[in-house]
Amino acid sequence: MASAHGARHYELPDGAVLGLTVEALGIHDVPVFDSVGEWALGHGVGHHPETSMPWSDAPQRNVCLAGHRLGFPGTASHLIFYRLGELGDGDEILLKDLDGEKYRYRVSETFKADPEDSWVMGQVRDRDMVTLQTCTGPNWERRLIVRTDRE
C-alpha cells in the first residue's frame, strides 16, 4: 500500500489533545483525541482516557494510544498504524501538546496481546511510557503492542 509508505503531515483539529509524530513511519502531528470511541479512531488516534497523559503527576505513567491498521480512506485514520510492526528498538515517538511542549520516547518492546488484555494499559513500576496498539493477525483478532520509554 503505497500511501502507507510516504510522509504524511496532519493539522490538529479542534478537540485534539496531542499530536503524534513517528518519523520512522513517516507520520507527523497525527491528531490524538482523548477517547477511543468510533469518532476519535475514525479521525486520528485515540487516547484511552483512563490512562496517563505525558504531563500526569505520577511516579510512573502509561499513555495508551490506539489507532486503526487500515482505517477509513480520506480521513486521518487511514493506514495510520499500518506499519506499526516495523518499529524497532530505539525508534523515536514524539508527542506534542497544544502548548507545543514535546515529550520524546524510544521504542523498547513489541509484543502481541488479546483484545481483553487490559493489563497492557496499566502502569509499570518505575516506567514513564507510551503504549501504542493496533489490530493484527489474519482476522484482526489480536493486538500489536509497541511500548516506548521516555528519554
Q: What is the mean pLDDT of the chain?
A: 94
User: Which residues have C-beta within 8 Å of that of residue 8, sequence separation ≥ 6?
Assistant: 26, 27, 28, 30
Residue 8: DSSP 8-state: E
pLDDT tens-digit map of 20-65: 999 999 999 999 999 999 999 999 999 999 999 999 998 899 999 9
In tens, the pLDDT along 126-145 reads 999 999 999 998 888 899 99
C-alpha cell at 124: 509499570
CA angle at 136 for the pair 66 and 89, rounded to the nearest 5°: 70
Whole-number pLDDT of residue 3: 74
Q: Which CATH number fits domain 2-150: 2.60.40.2470, 3.40.640.10, 2.40.260.10, 3.40.50.970?
A: 2.40.260.10
Residue corresponding to grid cell 502509561: 62
For residue 126, give Cα distances in angstroms to 58, 61, 81, 123. 10, 9, 27, 9
Alpha helix segments (H runs only) across 8-149: 38-42
Position 70 pLDDT exceeds 60: yes
Q: Which residue has the cell 509524530?
A: 21
The domains of the chain are located at: 2-150
**pTM of the model as a whole:** 0.94
The residue written with cell numbers 483512563 in the block is 50
pLDDT at 2: 47
Express each pLDDT in 21-33 by its tens digit.
999 999 999 999 9
